[in-house]
Structure 1
Amino acid sequence: MLRRCDLSSLLRLPFLSLAFFLVTCISSLAQRSVNELTPYERDTNQTATYYQIISWYQQLDRQYEQAKLVEIGQTDIGKPLHLFLLAADKQFTARPNRVTLLINNGIHPGEPEGIDACMMLARDLLKTNKLPKNILLAIVPVYNVGGSLNRGVSRVNQNGPESYGFRGNARNLNLNRDFIKAESENTRAFQATFQSLKPQVFVDNHTSDGADYQHVLTYFATQKDKLQPDVSVYMTKRFQPALDKMLTARGFPPAPYVDHVGDTPESGLVGYNDTPRYSTGYATLFNCFGFTLETHMWKPYPARVKASYVFDEAVLRLCEREASTILANQKFANEAVRRQKTFPLIFSLDRTKVDSVTFLGYEAAYKPSEVSGLKRLYYDRNKPFTKRIPYFNTFSANVQVDKPRFYLIQQGWRDVINQLKRNGVTLQPLSKDTVLTVSAYHIDTFRTGQRPYEGHYIHSNVTLRTESQKLQFYKGDFLIPTDQSSNRYIVETLEPQGVDSFFAWNFFDSILDQKEYFSNYIFEDTAAELVRKDPALRKQLEEKRASDKAFAENANAQLDFIYRQTPYYEKTHNRYPVYRLN
């Protein structure tokens, strides 16, 4: 910290020392005035580099007792992941009598407005001593450290800053698709921190592209139909209207994130289906409501930074004003989820239910392309409009599941077990070897993506067969009780039909490999004898031949059909290794 130059010190010094002291004070004051400005404030076409970001927060940590910069884990680039905590009472842990607001920046470092806005917001809150007493504010200065260090101009048509980070991280992962599979060190550190903080409200700062329109700021909230109902009603009926009013008063009238059903926004906007792989979808699993802020990349960079600042500050002030209600809602929701019996797994947009929103757009038209000569879309900024447009934001659950009393997973599935533990799930190890009667899923059919997505070939459209089986389990295998506030996370990751289940993300793919087979020329005789001795099996074979021409013409398929009815066929093939126990 800087020392004050006072008159009594000056009067006691000899001339040369006095001169040196004056120069030092002037230099220190000049340095202080420079250091109180972020790189963005010194040049509004610049965004802070990784090293400038961390240095800035270290400076605030040194200067203010109400601030603390901590390392919360490693990242894939080998640099630490930081968290900046602000607390008026200098207590930097989650407490039951105050709201924890978590703000994430730079998950896509090419979208850097939140980085610069939060640097200024943190300074301003500390400098003016306006930290809310009932809020723990937690800021991730820059989440994708590898992407931040990979600086360039990768976002074509973005209107500033001069250079910025890259979307992919050090492993070329899009970290906003990693919140369930958690392959990145960044994500693992984030999950552990999230479970420690247990935030009630979450903000993820982004930048949008797409259609052109007048709004500088759009956002989407946690999908309302996925939230626990009491939290959802509060967010949509009370928090969001107040937030929109505050944003409009500050000169940034918002609109929902612009994803439209037709060629242009006037065709109608569609709510965002933020499944658990996304940051806000992950937060939803723990009764934390969130917002993904999307400023428009074609607006001037200073306007986008200002919009981010205004948005984050508005959320903070609403959390301060509504703290008691927010805390009570999450507490109620946690208890309700403990008791909840039926859980939705897959949602789809209900196009029969439509609302409307005020949208500030530009008229769209078509003209010949100078490149292809074909028709191309453009927006005419000389023709702005304000109108009500359709908004489709109701999602219905088309797959639901009843929770069991326990799930049971064998200890060999360490990756899944570690994921569960990191995300606050309580597991109970078996104290001895035991035989249990369980409900076992068998994977009948599924669809696998034909192209890699974030390093995976995701499974979907899973159909199951369920059997009651008596199986051997061993000391150290884990029971997972479903009377936990983390039930949403448990069910959505462990039920194989879930859109972001561990099965969908290939954690259990080894069960899909058959390990033992038969030799056709030898098994022919065995199969013939089985069919002779078992009239029911013969009938099944004949019926399948009659109904399936390809099967009837495939000798190996018919042998395989019989083989699967024998004791030799491995019982673990396609048997899902997470069992249900009631």
Structure 2
Amino acid sequence: MFTSITRASTSLLARCLVTAAVIAPCTAHSEAPVSAPLPKLLPWHGASEQLIVNKGDWVTPAEASAFRTTPNYRETRAFIDRLAAASPDIRTMDIGTSSGGRKVQLVTLTAGGSDPKTNGKPTLLAQAGIHSGEIDGKDASLMLLRDYVTGNRKLRQLVERANLLIVPILNVDGHERTGPYNRMNQRGPENAGWRSNGNNLNINRDYTKLDTPELRAVMDVINSYKPDLYLDIHVTDGEDYQYDITYGYTAAFASDSPDIAHWLDNSLRGRLDKALTDAGHIPGPLVFGVNPQEFSDGITHWTALPRFSNGLGDLRHTPTVLIENHSLKPFRQRVLGTYVFLEAALQALGEDRQSLEKAIASDQKRRPETQVLAWDTNKKPDLTVFAKQPFKGMAYKKAMNPITGTEQVVWLGKAKDYPELPVFADNVKAVEVRVPRAYYLPKKDALVLARLKAHGIQVSEPQRKSAKLTQLTVDGHEFAESPFEGHFRVSGTFSEKPVQVSLNDFVKISTDQPLGSLAVALLDPRGPDSLFQWGFFNQIFQRTEYAEPYALIPLAEKMLQQDPALKKEFEKRLQDKAFADDPRARMDFFYQRSPYYDQAYLKYPVLTEY
């Protein structure tokens, strides 16, 4: 946004902001708003176009509009109700309520309408609309469910072997904040929804802290149904390239679920890529350019933090795939590719169930001695990833731009391969910690306890009355300058010392459990997605009792008389002129060493047992 705005346009802009909830198109100019020009498209036709139904009683709302629009919340639920009424195999339930009062719906498709929790078949959970402007998964799901209802033989065979669970719209409030100007870099639908939820929180950053009712509802589903494969369906931002369906997951080199990562690499990916290619799509890896001004500099092999679905799924030992359809491809093409992806994933579950279940069970039994909580990017690129098959990119040029006064990338709409495109992997250990046997959380930290239980982490009463544990003290800390996702995040450095404590007021969180790795990520404060760094323990940074000079000064004199070592330490500090000239600092020196000082100040309340 330009920093120079006229008084008249500022007034109009203020009216735009006030009426934002109405979602009427509005700009800071009186003339009609313009759409952002996008790069030229490559022509596309594929076998998946045969999936489209143009006539009859079961045309989906997106098909009825020729994929110009997507149905709203009410229309979506009405179509799903019709599907459920037409087949006993389809069932619906509300799993939660948004802050705006809308219900989040779960659709289950099982053979004979059996309970996916108990029918003994592997389960696929597909989630759409965590970013509601990226709604491809919803419309692909409606088409797939329609085809099942109308007798598609292949789908019926697949559902005989695997269950399908669908969250059609996760961010239901953002879904209703529609408009043609919500997604500048995306080709459709015309009525795309909004990224954040009704409280302006990005649900896609909430997988560890679980602030949003929408994601707590998803976590209930994951804990209850224990899906064997979890698909989180998005649409990209960023560069132009030929791939229309890109996807990824935590790589084995950085995985807390290495056997699952190998199954995703060696079993699932081949099936997905073949199905998509046969249907006329171009599947590819997740693409994050390292330099927006020079794409040929390479891309990053991203290792997701647990605030994201694929990062959390890796810690939970829940096979999780992040789908990112390319935003510059038309909505129609993206929806069709998503349909193919869903069908292929369902087929993979049915065909290779045993090896996946074996991988999940193996990873759940892992009890590592150390755990990496954060990864850095390797500065040395890997040139082998695209050595045999070049990266399928697009041509671009650099041109001086009068808006920025600098050279900018201009995508040319022409295919261009990039052999040996550099890939910079997030495979350098940034934060690695020793895994303890258990953590002990004070019962008074009820919000933290509630979050742990919402994740499904097992919590128990201590079997001992007291124990010698390790406590961390914050030696230095820094708060963020602005809020992020409703929190002022904080980072710190720590020292540790043994403490003997009574355990009457604590609960125990053992790491000897399937979600032990997740417990470490949440409770070790050195991790970037720990509840500490999200601000759940900020109370330790405030002091509520203080000392009056008329009481503290006589106490300090008495302390000097009784403790020669303290006297010597004080005299040494007085050699520092800044300290010597500061009466408050001199008094604090004694207060901090007195028995009256707040012993909980800067003490991380979660204790550790090694």
Offset of 1:422 from its aligned partner?
2.0
Residue 355 of structure 2 corresponds to residue 315 of structure 1: no
- Work out which of the residue numbers 256, 268, 279 in structure 1 matches 2:298: 268
Per-residue CA deviations over 1:496-542 (Å, capped at 9, x if unaligned) read 11111111111111111112222346534433443454332244345
- Work out which of the residue numbers 166, 186, 193 in structure 2 matches 1:158: 186
Partner of 1:230: 259
- Work out which of the residue numbers 284, 300, 325 in structure 2 matches 1:255: 284
**In 2 relative to 1, CA 540–121 (structure 1 residues): closer, same or farther, beyond 3 Å?**
farther
Partner of 2:205: 177
The one-letter code of the counterpart of 2:566 is L
CA–CA separation in structure 2 for the residues paired with 1:236 and 1:535: 67
**In 2 relative to 1, CA 457–273 (structure 1 residues): closer, same or farther, beyond 3 Å?**
farther
**In 2 relative to 1, CA 426–437 (structure 1 residues): closer, same or farther, beyond 3 Å?**
same
C-alpha RMSD of matched pairs (Å): 2.3
Residue 441 of structure 2 corresponds to residue 445 of structure 1: no
Partner of 2:23: none
- Is the 8 Å Cα contact of residues 158 and 346 (structure 2) preserved in structure 1? no
**In 2 relative to 1, CA 134–472 (structure 1 residues): closer, same or farther, beyond 3 Å?**
same
Partner of 1:294: 324
CA–CA separation in structure 1 for the residues paired with 2:161 and 2:250: 23
- Work out which of the residue numbers 92, 108, 112 in structure 1 matches 2:115: 92
CA–CA separation in structure 1 for the residues paired with 2:138 and 2:484: 27
SS in 2 for 1:193: helix
Per-residue CA deviations over 1:469-502 (Å, capped at 9, x if unaligned) read 2223436x31222221010111111111111111
CA–CA separation in structure 2 for the residues paired with 1:242 and 1:236: 10
Residue 432 of structure 2 corresponds to residue 400 of structure 1: yes
The one-letter code of the counterpart of 1:81 is V
Residue 486 of structure 2 corresponds to residue 455 of structure 1: yes
Of the structure 1 ranges 314-323 and 191-200, higher mean CA displacement relative to structure 2 is found in 314-323
CA–CA separation in structure 2 for the residues paired with 1:237 and 1:553: 68
Partner of 1:517: 546
**In 2 relative to 1, CA 377–94 (structure 1 residues): closer, same or farther, beyond 3 Å?**
same
Offset of 1:241 from its aligned partner?
3.6
The one-letter code of the counterpart of 1:256 is P
Q: Which runs of 5+ in 1 are unaligned?
A: 1-31
The one-letter code of the counterpart of 2:193 is G
Partner of 1:51: 74
CA–CA separation in structure 2 for the residues paired with 1:479 and 1:117: 44
Partner of 1:203: 231
- Is the 8 Å Cα contact of residues 176 and 277 (structure 1) preserved in structure 2? yes
**In 2 relative to 1, CA 524–140 (structure 1 residues): closer, same or farther, beyond 3 Å?**
same
The one-letter code of the counterpart of 1:117 is A
- Is the 8 Å Cα contact of residues 183 and 192 (structure 2) preserved in structure 1? no
- Is the 8 Å Cα contact of residues 111 and 159 (structure 2) preserved in structure 1? yes
How many residues of Structure 1 are paired with residues of Structure 2 in the alignment?
545
SS in 2 for 1:428: coil
CA–CA separation in structure 2 for the residues paired with 1:374 and 1:269: 23
The one-letter code of the counterpart of 1:392 is F
Offset of 1:247 from its aligned partner?
2.4
- Work out which of the residue numbers 340, 353, 363 in structure 2 matches 1:333: 363
- Work out which of the residue numbers 247, 258, 262 in structure 2 matches 1:219: 247
Per-residue CA deviations over 1:328-373 (Å, capped at 9, x if unaligned) read 110111122xx33322222222233624233222222221224344
Per-residue CA deviations over 1:150-200 (Å, capped at 9, x if unaligned) read 111211242221212111111111000111111111111111111111122
Partner of 1:413: 445
- Work out which of the residue numbers 585, 588, 593 in structure 2 matches 1:557: 585
- Is the 8 Å Cα contact of residues 88 and 131 (structure 1) preserved in structure 2? no
Offset of 1:116 from its aligned partner?
0.8
SS in 1 for 2:421: strand
Partner of 1:488: 517
CA–CA separation in structure 2 for the residues paired with 1:102 and 1:545: 66
**In 2 relative to 1, CA 373–471 (structure 1 residues): closer, same or farther, beyond 3 Å?**
closer
Residue 416 of structure 2 corresponds to residue 384 of structure 1: yes
The one-letter code of the counterpart of 1:284 is D
- Is the 8 Å Cα contact of residues 392 and 415 (structure 2) preserved in structure 1? no
Residue 177 of structure 2 corresponds to residue 147 of structure 1: no
- Work out which of the residue numbers 256, 261, 283 in structure 1 matches 2:313: 283
Give the TM-score normalised by structure 2: 0.84
